[in-house]
Amino acid sequence: MPSEENPFIPGKPASATPEFEEPQCPQGPLGSKPDQSGPRPTTPTGADSADGQTEQAQQGEYHTTAQGGRLPDTNHSLKAGARGPVLLQDHHLREKITHFDHERIPERVVHARGAAAHGTFVSYGTASTVTKAGFLQPEAETEVFTRFSTVVGSRGSPDVARDTRGFATKFYTSEGVFDLVGNNFPVFFIQDAMKFPDIVHAAKPHPDREIPQAQSAHDTFWDFVSLHTEATHHTMWQMSDRAIPRSLRMMEGFGVNTFRLENAAGETSLVKFHWKPENGVHSLLWEEAQLTNGFDPDFHRRDLADAIEAGAYPRWELGLQVMPDSEDETFEGIDLLDPTKLIPEELAPVTSVGMLTLDRNPENYFAETEQVAFHPGHLVPGIDVTNDPLLQGRLFSYLDTQMTRLGGPNFSELPINRPRCPVNDMFRDGMHQTAVHQGVAPYKPNSLDGGNPFSSKGEHALIDVPQPVAESVKERRASASFDDHFSQARLFWLSLTGIERQHLAEAFIFELGKCYEETIRQREVKNLAAIDRGLCETVAEGLGLDVPQTTEQPAADVTASPALSQISGRWPVAGRKVGLVASANTPIEQITVVRKAVGDVGMVPLLIAPRGGRLGEGNTAVAVERTYSTMRSVEFDAVVLAGGIETSTAIDVLISEAWRHLKPIATCDDAEHLLEEPGIGLDDPGIFCGGGPEEVTKQLIAALAEHRTWARAEM
């Protein structure tokens, strides 16, 4: 057969003409610019994008080998004839495939799934009385990078799993990098880092089948937490609505461990860090979360990036709870070194010390979000650690883990990790060393490099707080004050509203209901008796278990902390999404009016129609953004039904789910009839009918400020 003839497509040559003809650059002398009329990358990307350095990873217009040789073709391997074997000498083929084969690095052992953004931290100066840290002094402005994460799932797991969220911020301060590596819960599962591998082994998928992914609803997790009662308080948070945030923009953050701050006069205090979101703290409902994981596994990541791109920059105030640095390191009887305990805000108010604004999405996920390396030991003068045994173990783990994850000790040279102040560390060589160090004497003292670099004893030196260490003996034992595992779990329970408690009890029933072993369920239900009899009875009933006969009594003298409830107040609505359902029969003015009212308050209207294309004619036509097959209620915070829509299953599902998930719904014109089939009353809370499109949309927006129509939950 002649080699030009394609055996499967008569009349076509063996190598079919590609549909896309790549524009060819005219040959030019080296260094000359090619014809730029063809398609070009929209953004020149490179190492400089992460930190403003000039070093480029991608230069020039020509496609080249890694050695810079210009390539004429990257679609065909070098063969002995068009149908012959591939030649070993094809360097471009081998280089391209070898590089690809090594593109992945190990994912984080925990917190593998994450999303991040760049921003700025502006200090109010209010912390200067307690710390000399430069970035917390009046008017200081610091570049930051924040990465949010789930803990248990792997890198490709869905975003809205029931889980703790990581909230880690890298401050590129003039005194060196400070990392605040926190979570969205103020407490942790365990009191000693020694148990961290154990809790993580228990929470990760079972080692035999590697299921379930990104979930705590399985036997090993509940086996561990029911046996380690110190995990009870954290488990209550994990079963609460806090574990399924509506958005990364709507989560609180906590440093969890207690830190020791030192001011310019050398005075110290014990401090807990808080992040308070400007958007308020809001959650999904459990059914909504489950649907979302299927409909859009990237829900949180998309929401964060979309909001930043739309200019609805998320903001958090950094706050401090400042406690005296007392000899016993307790406050109001609460041990400040026990990371399973929080300090109620009613006892130690949170003082705002600055504002974090995230205003720039990463340009390259791998270079920035994946390669960023946080460490609670990245400290600046004025912020020091305490003897919290969990924090002490963390100080070892984070550096160690980067050796495997980032392939050696030079990860701080990666653009995203580089300090934005001079670095002269005398570290040399090693895997992936990119610096060309000068001098011959990387040791101290030296005479050959003129004594460089010099030790710093001045103002900005990292001098450890000279904290006295108690005289003691070596022993593997926790302080007796760590023995109370239930009173703060009860405190959390008592602080929640009725609907929050109901969600929490339902979460226990769901999660324990997924366990195969009845002994585990029984053990956990018995633990609940020590928190609250009512909670224990509800969960036991839901699981079909007998209420345990136990002498364990809930702690009697616990006072609620209303600040822990997330249902109260009114919050900004910017960045929230409104589904606007319309059809070709809808008057275009209605669509325009609703879109404007929604857009005016910084929310995002998404036009839904039976099929794609545009609605309306000419200049006023509007593009359809979702069709009946590409939309689902979980994407929207509220729904507006325009006039001229026919009843359909898709619309029934949309409305029923929005109603069940306590979302405001507004109707224009004749759209009220759509509420009949799902059985929704026109007078139900959060249903806005009867006014003009602008009026009902404004009512809907006002309702959204409370996040959900909570009154409907009572029906």
Distance CA 93, CA 98 (A): 8
- Is residue 92 part of the annotated active site? The answer reads no
**Cβ–Cβ < 8 Å for 532, 504:** no
**Binds ligand HDD (CB under 6 A): choice among 147, 228, 233, 246:** 147
**Cβ–Cβ < 8 Å for 388, 257:** yes
For ligand HDD, what does the binding mask look like between residues 384 and 423, x meaning CB under 6 A?
A: ------x--xx--xx--x----------------------
For ligand HDD, what does the binding mask look like between residues 314 and 353, x meaning CB under 6 A?
A: -------------------------x--------------
Positions in 362-381 near ligand HDD (CB under 6 A): 372-374
- Which region among 104-112, 260-268, 297-305, 685-693 touches ligand HDD (by CB under 6 A)? 104-112
CA distances to 196, 292, 520, 534 from 541, rounded to whole Å, are 33, 29, 16, 11
- Which region among 182-190, 451-459, 508-516, 676-684 touches ligand HDD (by CB under 6 A)? 182-190
Please tell me whether 533 is known to bind a ligand: no
Residue of 63, 91, 111, 424 marked catalytic: 111
Please tell me whether 394 is known to bind a ligand: yes
How many residues of this chain bind ligand HDD (CB under 6 A)? 27
Q: Give CB contacts under 8 A, 24+ apart, made by 290-295.
A: 291/632, 291/633, 291/634, 291/657, 292/158, 292/159, 292/160, 292/634, 293/158, 293/159, 293/160, 293/161, 294/158, 295/632, 295/634, 295/635
Please tell me whether 196 is known to bind a ligand: yes
Which C-beta is closer to ligand HDD: that of 147 or that of 490? Answer: 147
**Binds ligand HDD (CB under 6 A): choice among 47, 50, 111, 492:** 111
Amino acid found at 49: S
**Binds ligand HDD (CB under 6 A): choice among 193, 525, 655, 662:** 193
For ligand HDD, what does the binding mask look like between residues 202 and 241, x meaning CB under 6 A?
A: ----------------------------------------
Closest residue to ligand HDD using C-beta atoms:
166
Which C-beta is closer to ligand HDD: that of 339 or that of 382? Answer: 339
575 binds ligand HDD (CB under 6 A): no
Which C-beta is closer to ligand HDD: that of 182 or that of 579? Answer: 182
Distance CA 221, CA 652 (A): 38
- Is residue 361 part of the annotated active site? The answer reads no
**Closest approach of ligand HDD to the CB of residue 151, in Å:** 8
Please tell me whether 165 is known to bind a ligand: no
Nearest residue to 44 (alpha-carbon basis) of 417, 414, 365, 363 = 363
Distance CA 146, CA 166 (A): 10
Which C-beta is closer to ligand HDD: that of 253 or that of 605? Answer: 253
The pairing of strands 114-123 and 141-150 is antiparallel
Amino acid found at 586: T
Which C-beta is closer to ligand HDD: that of 64 or that of 404? Answer: 404
**Binds ligand HDD (CB under 6 A): choice among 130, 136, 152, 168:** 168
490 binds ligand HDD (CB under 6 A): no
108 binds ligand HDD (CB under 6 A): yes
181 binds ligand HDD (CB under 6 A): yes
Which C-beta is closer to ligand HDD: that of 149 or that of 216? Answer: 149
Q: Give CB contacts under 8 A, 24+ apart, made by 295-302.
A: 295/632, 295/634, 295/635, 296/634, 296/635, 297/157, 297/158, 297/159, 298/159, 299/158, 299/159, 299/160, 299/634, 300/115, 300/148, 300/159, 300/160, 300/245, 300/247, 300/248, 301/115, 301/159
Which C-beta is closer to ligand HDD: that of 372 or that of 515? Answer: 372
Contacts of 15 (CB under 8 A, 6+ apart): 82
Which C-beta is closer to ligand HDD: that of 256 or that of 558? Answer: 256
- Which region among 181-189, 423-431, 466-474, 529-537 touches ligand HDD (by CB under 6 A)? 181-189
**Binds ligand HDD (CB under 6 A): choice among 47, 50, 110, 304:** 110
Residue of 118, 183, 282, 361 marked catalytic: 183
188 binds ligand HDD (CB under 6 A): yes
Indicate the Cα dihedral angle 242, 248, 254, 257, nearest 10°: 90
Contacts of 675 (CB under 8 A, 6+ apart): 655, 665, 667, 681, 682, 687, 689
Got the DSSP string for 236-263? Answer: HHHHSGGGSBS-GGG--EE--S-EEEE-
Please name the helix (run of DSSP H) or strand (run of DSSP E) that holds residue 287, with its range, or none: helix 286-295
**Cβ–Cβ < 8 Å for 216, 152:** yes
Tokens read off for 710: 């909570």
- Which region among 105-113, 329-337, 498-506, 561-569 touches ligand HDD (by CB under 6 A)? 105-113
Please tell me whether 121 is known to bind a ligand: no
* Bridge partners of residue 118, in order along the sequence: 145, 360
Residue 418 backbone dihedrals phi, psi, to 5 degrees? -65, 130
Residue set of the binding site: 108, 147, 196, 394, 398, 405
Q: Which residues bind ligand HDD (CB under 6 A)?
A: 108-111, 114, 147, 149, 166, 168, 181-183, 188, 193, 196, 256-257, 339, 372-374, 390, 393-394, 397-398, 401
Catalytic residues: 111, 183
